[in-house]
Amino acid sequence: MRQFIAALLFVAAAHAAGDAHAEAGEYLSRDAFLEATLETADPASDVVWLDEVLQERATEILGHAPGMLRARYWYSSGRTAWVFDEIGKERPITMGVVIEDGTIRDFRVLTFRESRGWEIRYAFFTRQFDGLGLDGDGELDATIDNISGATLSVRAARRVANLALVLDDVARRTNTKIASTR
């Protein structure tokens, strides 16, 4: 009887561990994300160079140096799409942000690699970003609700959304073609 209970517990633990692991992974490729959100398979792309001022602003938002000298974006139909990797606790989470008229139109988690916090991939969380823009201080103009047990992933998502909005503002000022794709 005791052995049976031990076996049962082992199977249950293994099942739970397997489930948790299965939640991490690539949910959407970059190309599929761009096609779904920009409604074209071959969107134009350009880059925003992170000069000293933007490096400082990005460091302020992310809490660490951005680790790149230029950020690529894709654009179509008056929207820009950005894909960033940001570490939640220990491993990078790949997230995509689509912006139109200075507000977020779509936020997606493309790849999640950490062992905890994958709940941020679900629509109940990501739709909180819809319609968000920047306030006067250059930060998100609304709060994002936390998810218990996924605090670091939630914070990473907030940082990426904020950075994308800041860079979108720069991109629109330097690339007039974005507006003309509308």
Partner 1 sequence: MQGRPRRWTRRLHRLLGLASCVFLLLIAVTGLALNHADRLGLSQRSAAAPFVLALYGVDAPPVDVAFEAGGSTYALAGGFLVVDDRIVAESRELLGAIAVGRDVLALTDEELLLFAPGGALVERASLSLPAAARRLGTDGDVAVIDAGALLFEIDTAAMNARPAAESGAPDWSIAATLSDGQVRQIGTAVLGRTYNGSRVLNDLHSGRLFPGLGPLIADLAALCLVYLAASGLYLALRRNR
User: Interface residues with partner 1 (CB under 8 A)?
Assistant: 29-31, 45, 47, 63-64, 67-72, 87, 89-92, 113, 151-152, 155
Question: Of 119, 102, 121, 124, which Cα lies nearest the Cα of 110?
Answer: 121
Q: How far is the CB of 55 from partner 1 (least distance, A)?
A: 11
Q: How far is the CB of 59 from partner 1 (least distance, A)?
A: 12
> Could you report how far apart the first and last alpha carbons of the chain are, in Å?
69
Q: How far is the CB of 67 from partner 1 (least distance, A)?
A: 6
| Tokens matching residue 8 | 């049962």
Tell me how far the alpha carbon of residue 104 is from its chain's centroid.
Answer: 11
Listing DSSP states for 119-162 in one string gives: GGGSHHHHGGGTT--B-TTSSBSS-----TT-HHHHHHHHHHHH
Closer residue to partner 1, CB minimum distance, 2 or 177: 177
Q: How far is the CB of 75 from partner 1 (least distance, A)?
A: 14
Closer residue to partner 1, CB minimum distance, 151 or 175: 151
Closer residue to partner 1, CB minimum distance, 92 or 138: 92
Closer residue to partner 1, CB minimum distance, 99 or 154: 154
| Strands 103-112 and 92-100, sheet pairing | antiparallel
Q: What single-letter amino acid sits at 11?
A: V
Distance (Å, whole) CA 13 – CA 9: 6
Question: Of 106, 49, 55, 46, which Cα lies nearest the Cα of 75?
Answer: 46
Closer residue to partner 1, CB minimum distance, 70 or 127: 70
Q: How far is the CB of 152 from partner 1 (least distance, A)?
A: 6
Q: How far is the CB of 70 from partner 1 (least distance, A)?
A: 5
Closer residue to partner 1, CB minimum distance, 31 or 39: 31
